[in-house]
Structure 1
Amino acid sequence: MSVTLTFDAARRKTYRESGYWGDASLGDYWRQTARAVPDKIAVVDNHGASWTYAALDYAASRLANWLLSQGIQPGDRVAFQLPGWCEFTLIYLACLKTGAVSVPLLPAWREAELVWVLNKCQAKIFFAPTVFKQNRPVDLILPLQNQLRHLTHIVGVDKLAPATTALALSQIIDRSEPLQSDINIHGDELAAVLFTSGTEGMPKGVMLTHNNILASERAYCARLNLTWQDVFLMPAPLGHATGFLHGVTAPFLIGARSVLLDIFTPEACLTLLAQQRCTCMSGATPFIYDLLCAVEQQPADLSSLRFFLCGGTIIPKKVARDCQQRGIKLLSIYGSTESSPHSMVNLGDSTSRMMNTDGYAATGVEIKIVDEDRNTLPAGHEGEEASRGPNVFMGYLDEPELTARALDNEGWYYSGDLCRMDEDGYIKITGRKKDIIIRGGKNISSREVEDILLQHPRIHDACVVAMPDERL
């Protein structure tokens, strides 16, 4: 299945002339890196798997050849519901080699979400573990095949147990010859569909081109001064934008190492961090909170960690202070699957900036704050955050009305997040438009109340909800 992507001519011209968009695909960047550092470790996971760039490229070429033999063509969707395993990267690279569109799915999804998403994206091939968390994900999908209109093959990723009911990934790789030549794909083609868990019913498919992802991750690496010497530790699910973009894609763009964790526990994370000498880590605040609590109970070696990049929610003051005391730079990042990431602090920013803002616009990105009529507001005023840049998605898959509400004709994506911007362009997310409680005619941000509660050292988490009142 092919999707026609609509590009604003002026936007496309500007991004190409500025060097943010080009002809090259993610696959071109992968090949360049694999040739430059073939013997360097590309990815490891907590099950002891370790692949060099050359070995991973060879295995991905074998899988890519099999995909082509099964009729996969450029633009076809390949879905994979895998945790943080090296095999995730392997399947992703095979898609890049064939021009197939990667559709990574969350391991937590069950029958209802899987049927919806696989039909929505018209996936032809589906990969899932034979065993994970004492469940058999690949067997979950087998009885549902009659509901999956486009699916032709189900492949069991036999990392932890043999595949007895489906094709085995290991056998496919062992029995396939390597692809002689990768399929040439243009940077404007669709690279991935990432499904958001959203707040409006079933997940929405966010369409990202190769150019979108390249612009996003090059800006990410540049802002954080990341190089081939860095070691990325990713505890977040790879089906989320954080894991897919920052945990898997960004490392191979610069020839760095990706360290993956399938089930987060503070102990497992600290062990990997020390063993692999990880230099950077990203995720939501619960990850760093749990790590700090574990270190208080049992000292651990955090000396290699340059920074922890935090996004998705407010950073509690206690967490920020504890990181500061341990010499860990806690950096704030802001973005969404539709525009990820587009605001980050700088490594050289003051402690106050790092603790009290969500950074400023990434290279090539514009940010504005607008009122209900989408008029731009001056600095200091609260309104809806909007962003425009080469990273911004191309729309929601087969959802033109949803796309039109979120993405205007000039390329601005309206996030639905409430925000303030200061005179220097630094922003602070203050809540969601839908999180407003109206009390006696006055608008109250539930996020603002939650932020105040979270400043108390004995409050770990807080959620403020509205209640009906006869008078108010």
Structure 2
Amino acid sequence: MRNAGLGGWPARRAQMSPDRTAFVYADRPYSYTEVHERTTRLASRLRDAGVRAGDRVAYLGPNHIAFAETMFATHMLGGIFVPLNFRLAAPEIAYMLEHSGSSVLVYGPECAAQVAAVVRDLPGLPNLRTVVALESPAERELHYETWLSQGDPTPIDTPVALDDIALILYTSGTTGRPKGAMLSHANLVWNTYHILIGVDVTSTEVTLISAPLFHVAALNQTLLPTFLKGGMSVIMPSWDVDRCYDLIERHRVTWMFGVTAMFAALVQSPRWAGADLSSLRTLMSGGASIPVALIRAYQERGLVFCQGYGMTETSPGATFLEAGESVRKVGSAGVPVFFANVRVVRPDLTPVAPGEPGEVLVQGPNVTPGYWRDPEATAAALTEGGWFHSGDVATLDDEGHLYIVDRVKDMYISGGENVYPAEVEGVLFEHPAVAEAAVVGVPDDKWGEVGRAFVVPRPGTNVTPDEIRDFLRPRLAKYKIPIYVDIVDTLPKTGSGKIRKPDLRRRPLPADSEE
């Protein structure tokens, strides 16, 4: 087989374990043979639509079997898969489609309104030639199942090298524009190796895919390793506590990944005490540190976390804490994954002493080759020797275990979603009554962190918190809209005129909020 990338995985798995179940979606099982056939048919239709090696195919929608099929079909042709965050607003989606130059978009019915708004702007998206709807296609759109079923099942073997780009994953940029982090097939394969080293994944694994697949963690930390081992992935369209409990018990789930908000919701459910969780072997968390109290709650049920630290640009695993260390090293993100190197350094790049905060740098075969069509951002992030500057602050203990303590940048994580204040501030400044604005992340029991905006009105104008939020709703994803909005006269600043965000974070929360 000439396809050394992920596009060859369905054929290889179908040959090794043809009748084993690869996916369960909406209670329907899909065998590895069926996944291979459906993916091949879809790849032939993408080829008919003009997709060739290096071309981009985008997917927009909640978790679905079509996500995996579209990804593998794109890779079968040597194309680049662009999974988009379905929580984004239409202008954000349009920018990513234009920036990536995607020629095909596959989308779910939940995103019909965003796609309709984007399609109205088609003159600004000259590369987007084919739009495929999972359900109820609009005029000039194709119906996914019908289109796929008419595809040619003849095997496809396009030459693909491991260093070829497999994914473009958009991360919100600190300058207000998202950046497209490129991940090669090699990045994904090495990350999968790291998971198989750190977690005892088996061919009988039953993995619950409960976090969004457009995020690197759910895709690369659970679905791909499970597929490689020939296990079964149970795909949840969206997070629901009761549905999660039901699927764990029905399918005897052995492995799941989640963020703090998800694991906290399970504990807070009335079903927690009596739920049958006996099948679970591995719980894995990421996105933000799991609070120690939550870790203890699971330990009391005999369940431990494999925690880790990483980011989109590291595919994502950079460090990992194996289950055996989860009690002794509660709160740690672990040690460097097997084939990567991690340093914690001072501003002069010298190593920190144990307990001393410093910036996390990562080097290894799992590190991104750079950002799509953004050589300046690539040069800024990747320094000599291939070290990636994370922008995160951590400490190391005397055994080399990593503890994340802060961020160099102002980014915060709300319900597992990265939010960059500069992006929100950029939209706030578009409001005609806003003279100045600053956004910070503040603690929240439900979401981990939420946004708090400080707005200085222009002279002679009046604006209310509700008006600010109403202005943001059609322009930003819901999770990016600040829960708290303070209308203030001035913002604290340094002598050079920079806003003192630490001062803003220390202010008592206002009574006004929107939950």
TM-score by length of 2: 0.78
More strand by share: 2
Q: Is 1:132 aligned to 2:123, yes or no?
A: no
Is 2:3–2:76's contact at 8 Å kept on the other side of the alignment? no
**Aligned CA distance change for structure 1 residues 243 and 140 (closer, same or farther; 3 Å):** farther
- Counterpart of 2:119? 142
Is 2:308–2:319's contact at 8 Å kept on the other side of the alignment? yes
- Counterpart of 2:32? 53
Cα deviation for residue 141 of structure 1 reads 3.1
- Counterpart of 1:255? 230
Could you tell me how far apart the structure 2 residues matched to 1:186 and 1:434 are? Answer: 35
Q: Is 1:26 aligned to 2:6, yes or no?
A: yes
Q: Is 1:42 aligned to 2:22, yes or no?
A: yes
Q: How many residues align?
A: 429
Cα deviation for residue 48 of structure 1 reads 2.4
Cα deviation for residue 31 of structure 1 reads 2.4
Is 1:25–1:187's contact at 8 Å kept on the other side of the alignment? yes
TM-score by length of 1: 0.85
Matching residue's letter, 1:99: G
- Counterpart of 1:114? 93
2:128 to 151, 154, 157: 151
Q: Is 1:347 aligned to 2:323, yes or no?
A: yes
Provide, for residues 285-342 of structure 1, a one-character-per-residue CA deviation record: whole Å limited to 9, x for no partner: 1111001111556732111111211112121222111101111112211100001111
Is 1:127–1:138's contact at 8 Å kept on the other side of the alignment? no
Provide, for residues 261-305 of structure 1, a one-character-per-residue CA deviation record: whole Å limited to 9, x for no partner: 112110111111111111111121111100111155673211111
Could you tell me how far apart the structure 2 residues matched to 1:247 and 1:266 are? Answer: 19
Matching residue's letter, 2:308: I
Matching residue's letter, 2:325: D
Q: Is 1:406 aligned to 2:381, yes or no?
A: yes
Provide, for residues 179-214 of structure 1, a one-character-per-residue CA deviation record: whole Å limited to 9, x for no partner: 333212111111111111344312210111111110
Mapping for residues 221-236 of structure 1, pairs under 5 Å: 221-236=196-211
Is 1:238–1:247's contact at 8 Å kept on the other side of the alignment? no
Matching residue's letter, 2:146: Q
**Aligned CA distance change for structure 1 residues 452 and 358 (closer, same or farther; 3 Å):** farther
Matching residue's letter, 1:410: G
Could you say what secondary structure the match of 1:356 adopts? coil
Is 1:388–1:411's contact at 8 Å kept on the other side of the alignment? yes
Could you tell me how far apart the structure 2 residues matched to 1:297 and 1:420 are? Answer: 34
Q: Is 1:202 aligned to 2:177, yes or no?
A: yes
2:52 to 73, 82, 95: 73
- Counterpart of 1:468? 492
Cα deviation for residue 93 of structure 1 reads 1.1
Percent identity, aligned pairs only, is 29
Matching residue's letter, 1:35: Q
Is 1:72–1:100's contact at 8 Å kept on the other side of the alignment? yes
Q: CA RMSD in A?
A: 2.7
Could you tell me how far apart the structure 2 residues matched to 1:421 and 1:402 are? Answer: 28
**Aligned CA distance change for structure 1 residues 178 and 191 (closer, same or farther; 3 Å):** same
Is 1:103–1:194's contact at 8 Å kept on the other side of the alignment? yes
Mapping for residues 57-456 of structure 1, pairs under 5 Å: 57-129=36-108, 131-132=109-110, 136-158=113-135, 161=136, 166-296=141-271, 299-339=274-314, 340-353=316-329, 355-435=330-410
- Counterpart of 1:439? none
**Aligned CA distance change for structure 1 residues 256 and 432 (closer, same or farther; 3 Å):** same
Is 2:441–2:450's contact at 8 Å kept on the other side of the alignment? no
Is 1:138–1:156's contact at 8 Å kept on the other side of the alignment? no
**Aligned CA distance change for structure 1 residues 71 and 459 (closer, same or farther; 3 Å):** closer
Could you tell me how far apart the structure 1 residues matched to 2:93 and 2:124 are? Answer: 10
Could you tell me how far apart the structure 1 residues matched to 2:107 and 2:174 are? Answer: 26
Is 2:344–2:358's contact at 8 Å kept on the other side of the alignment? yes
Could you tell me how far apart the structure 1 residues matched to 2:64 and 2:28 are? Answer: 8
Could you tell me how far apart the structure 1 residues matched to 2:165 and 2:369 are? Answer: 9
Cα deviation for residue 470 of structure 1 reads 10
**Aligned CA distance change for structure 1 residues 292 and 55 (closer, same or farther; 3 Å):** same
Matching residue's letter, 2:149: D
Could you tell me how far apart the structure 1 residues matched to 2:442 and 2:245 are? Answer: 30
| Higher mean displacement: 317-326 or 427-436 | 427-436
Could you tell me how far apart the structure 2 residues matched to 1:379 and 1:398 are? Answer: 39
Could you tell me how far apart the structure 1 residues matched to 2:494 and 2:44 are? Answer: 66
Unpaired runs of at least 5, structure 1? 1-21, 437-449
Cα deviation for residue 83 of structure 1 reads 1.2
Provide, for residues 344-398 of structure 1, a one-character-per-residue CA deviation record: whole Å limited to 9, x for no partner: 1112215031x22101011111111111122222333210000101100000111
- Counterpart of 1:18? none
Unpaired runs of at least 5, structure 2? 412-439, 455-490, 496-502, 504-515
Matching residue's letter, 2:121: L
Is 1:49–1:86's contact at 8 Å kept on the other side of the alignment? no
Provide, for residues 25-75 of structure 1, a one-character-per-residue CA deviation record: whole Å limited to 9, x for no partner: 222344222210111111112x22321110011011001011111211111
- Counterpart of 1:13? none
Could you tell me how far apart the structure 2 residues matched to 1:453 and 1:78 are? Answer: 37
Could you tell me how far apart the structure 2 residues matched to 1:82 and 1:463 are? Answer: 24
Q: Segments of 4+ in structure 1 off by > 4 A?
A: 135-138, 161-165, 295-298, 450-454, 458-467, 469-472
Could you tell me how far apart the structure 2 residues matched to 1:463 and 1:114 are? Answer: 22
Could you tell me how far apart the structure 2 residues matched to 1:337 and 1:402 are? Answer: 15
